[in-house]
Structure 1
Amino acid sequence: MSELPIIGGYTLGPVVHRGGMAVLREATHPDHPGPLLMKMPKMAEGEDPAAIVSFEMEQMILPRLTGPHVPRCYGAGHEPVPWIVMERISGGSLLPLLKRLPRAPEEVALLGAGVADALDGLHRQGVVHLDVKPSNILRRGSENGPMVLVDFGLSRAALLPDLMEEEFRLPYGTAPYMAPEQVMGIRGDPASDLFALGVLMYFFLTGKRPFGDPQRMADLKQRLWSDPTPPRAIVPECPPWLQEVILRCLEPAPERRHASAAHLAFDLRHPEAVALGPRAAKLKRDGWTKRIQRRFNPEFQPRLRRKAEALPQRDAPIMAVALDIDDISKEMSAALRDTVGRILAIRPNARVACLNVLRTNLLRPDNTLDREGRNKHVQRLLELRHWSAPLALPEHRLTHHVLEAVSASGAILEYATQNRVDHLILGAKAGGITQRVLGSMPTEVARDAPCSVTIVRVRDF
């Protein structure tokens, strides 16, 4: 009989769940009675690199969360594969309820209030979930136990770097539940979670999703100007106050939704306190002329703006150091680290972003695994972590990024531009006829960079 695998001191058991981006396995540890789960990203050939980046986000966020509405985290690590160990929540998710829709209005209100409580607990800790949906909501213990939010891979924490925003231009989320501002690439507004909860309540009440299940960006953007069919037009027994609450959650402009998750929970538990307006009386969608007006007249479009408190503070500059892991000497590695250390001594609040470019092919398919069957993206992340370990920076000031691109210089320049990098550090290449004729990648980056650039050279003795 073969021995069970052990990672980080935890003995792994059978697979419990295979999701779109990660795998959950039972785990045991002599110091923790459990029950426990170990979560690992999916790393088979052809997997989306976003699965690994989102997993890094969860590794940063989950250990910082406390309270009854999140699973307790027991540990996280990066070797031999990235992993997180958390408590196993005894109750199931809300996903099985989708087989028995629609639900009674009273049940929808009670369920929505419980989820709003969980969101309030999360938002008070400076985290926005950004992927609220039935499969990510569990019950702790009995049927009346508190709601628990899981899967923080797409979440945004106000005091942590946002790796998803820094590395990807397209929005990530679950299409039916994404708020308009999230579709437009704006992350970090707690009102986005209220929109998703509004979608969930609408779905549970009517059996229909308010904006369908769009698969294209153009279809996703329609929720900025196209209103859903009012719930009372589908479910006549829906009380006007509940329609008022749900349609308020689904407002395109975040400021027109509830002021907080706590306010939403209060309304769902106190129908008599809900002020009824035009939303409560609607029995059909707005006419096409009004929808066209909202679509093309800027005066009627929601003003989607990033909240200042959700953005990195500019008194903490970003320093990015690019490492060519495939071709770097010990001397250059040490010289780059020494340069970063000297700049940190001058700018002690700076955040360091360690970059590596994984070159991709322009025409033929790319292999995501190396000859030993290891994920290339993960291996490079590990090497970046090993290189940066001597810097001894706290996690919120040190990030690691593997950028997959055809052009190394193009990827570094795009990262620096999109993330408002203040200082780039690169190692000089050894001279050669090709470099003298065509120039070098560091030279190209220095020429076009939107910030200061330091090119480090190792002397030949």
Structure 2
Amino acid sequence: MPSTVIAGRYEIRDMIGRGAHAMVAEAYDPRLSRLVALKIVPRRSDEEGMELLSRFEQEARTVARLSHPGIVPVHDFGHGPDYAWLAMELVIGESLEDVLRRTPRLPVAEATRIVLELLDALAAAHRRGIVHRDVKPANILLAANEEDGLGQVKVTDFGVAHLPTQADGAELTTVGQMLGTPSTMAPEQVRGAAPDPRMDLWAAGVILFRALTGRRPFEGANLYATLHAVQAEEAPAPSSLVPELPAALDDVVARALRKDPADRFGSAEEMAAALRAAVVSYQGSKVLV
């Protein structure tokens, strides 16, 4: 743990989480009298450490390009001799991963609402030429609210996102390099294909499937079995696992999880429109019944 004050400004209050390369803490910014989430990466002089620092700087630049209520904004970025830091909005709530571990299956209205808000945020990123590449429940925060139900979607962690052009003209990744989380990676992403927004739409389809059924569409006994399933197996229809789910939702999930990107939805907006239509059809059938 670094000193309790970062950059002579951010007073660390509590630890939020720790990963393999970074930690996230709740901190107080006395200059603006507000709490922030402070992501901290220790500096290392080896090649891997330099790449991690470059990715961290890229994450700050990426999110700085985006202004959307469904994307966690960046307030500040900097680095010193021992570590680099990224100050972000502190989202009070929980991640979708935490929710799904506690309640594996969500009601149709809540599952579709979350995915629609996710698609809206992804559409904003895609319009700026940014592909997230690691859309997963752990990177979807749900901001607490005073109403019943889960909170507003806030997408975070653009650490492996692809920008249309890096500031220095150099790419941090090359074609053939696999980046992302296996359980939500598209088949072409597993193969290291060039970044494409439809990779994020595949991930949104995986999340919708899991929220509706309580299980992942592609699972294996180990990493290699999971990657094989992603590339070679077809996901079951959600209604085959939960019979009360409407066929219209089966169609949305099936198209989002097509192996060939050309067969998926062409944009986040198109997928959102299909999902809304499926929800309207489902709600209408319930009223008629």
Task: Give TM class, smaller chain.
Answer: 0.7 to 0.9
- Which residue does 1:115 correspond to in 2? 118
Letter in 1 for 2:267: S
1:69 corresponds to: 70
Q: Is it true that 1:210 corresponds to 2:217 in the alignment?
A: yes
- CA separation in 2, counterparts of 1:233 and 1:270? 21
Number of residues of Structure 1 aligned to a counterpart in Structure 2: 271
Partner of 1:23: 23
| Cα deviation code 1:301-348 (max 9, x no counterpart) | xxxxxxxxxxxxxxxxxxxxxxxxxxxxxxxxxxxxxxxxxxxxxxxx
- 1:257-296 aligned at under 5 Å gives the runs 257-271=264-278
Given that 1:177 and 1:195 are in contact with CA atoms closer than 8 Å, whether structure 2 keeps it comes out as yes
Which residues of structure 2 form unaligned runs of 5+? Answer: 282-289
1:60 and 2:61 equivalent?
yes
> Offset of 1:87 from its aligned partner?
1.2
On the 8 A contact 1:120/1:260 being kept in 2, the answer is yes
Q: SS of the residue aligned with 2:173?
A: helix
Q: Is the contact made by 2:219 and 2:225 (CA closer than 8 Å) also made in structure 1?
A: no
Q: What letter matches 2:178 in structure 1?
A: P
Letter in 2 for 1:25: A
SS at structure 1 position matched to 2:35: strand
Amino acid aligned to 1:159: T
Deviations along 1:226-264, one digit per CA (max 9) or x if unpaired, are: 212222211111100001001111001112111211121
Matches within 5 A, 1:253-402: 253-271=260-278
Could you tell me how far apart the structure 2 residues matched to 1:17 and 1:192 are? Answer: 27
* Candidates 154, 166, 177, aligned match of 1:148: 154
| Structure 2 partner of 1:191 | 198
Preserved contact between residue 110 and residue 269 of structure 1 (Cα < 8 Å):
no
Two-structure CA RMSD over aligned residues (Å): 2.8
Residue in structure 2 matched with residue 165 of structure 1 by the alignment? 173
Counterpart selection for 1:251 from 255, 258, 279: 258
2:89 corresponds to: 87
Report which stretch shifted further, 69-78 or 99-108.
99-108
CA distance in 2, matches of 1:211, 1:164: 29
Distance 2:21 2:92 in 1: 22
Q: Deviations over 1:243-299 (max 9, x none)?
A: 10011110011121112111212222222788xxxxxxxxxxxxxxxxxxxxxxxxx
The alpha carbon displacement at 1:145 in A equals 5.0
Match in the other structure for 1:35: 35
The residue identity in structure 1 corresponding to 2:85 is W
Query: 2:218 is paired with a residue of what secondary structure?
Result: coil
Quote how far apart the aligned CAs of 1:57 are. 2.5
> 1:156 Cα shift?
0.6
Instruction: Give the Å deviation of 1:217.
Output: 5.0
Code of the aligned partner of 1:86: M
Query: Larger Rg: 1 or 2?
Result: 1
What letter corresponds to residue 23 of structure 1 in structure 2? Answer: M
Aligned to 1:283: none
SS, match of residue 71 in structure 1: coil
Identity across the alignment (%): 32
- TM-fit CA distance, 1:174: 0.7
Partners of 1:108 and 1:26 in 2: CA distance: 29
Instruction: Normalising by structure 2, report the TM-score.
Output: 0.83
Task: Give the SS at the match of 2:64.
Answer: helix
Matched residue type, 1:27: A
Cα deviations across residues 53-105 of structure 1 (Å, max 9, x unaligned)?
Answer: 43232133122221212222121112131111111112322122222112233
Q: Quick one: distance in 2 between partners of 1:262 and 1:172?
A: 25
Q: Which has the higher contact order (CA 8 A, sep 6+)?
A: 2
CA separation of 1:40/1:118 partners in 2, compared to 1, >3 Å: closer, same or farther?
A: same
Q: State the 1:213 CA deviation.
A: 4.8
In structure 2, distance between residues paired with 1:10 and 1:133: 29
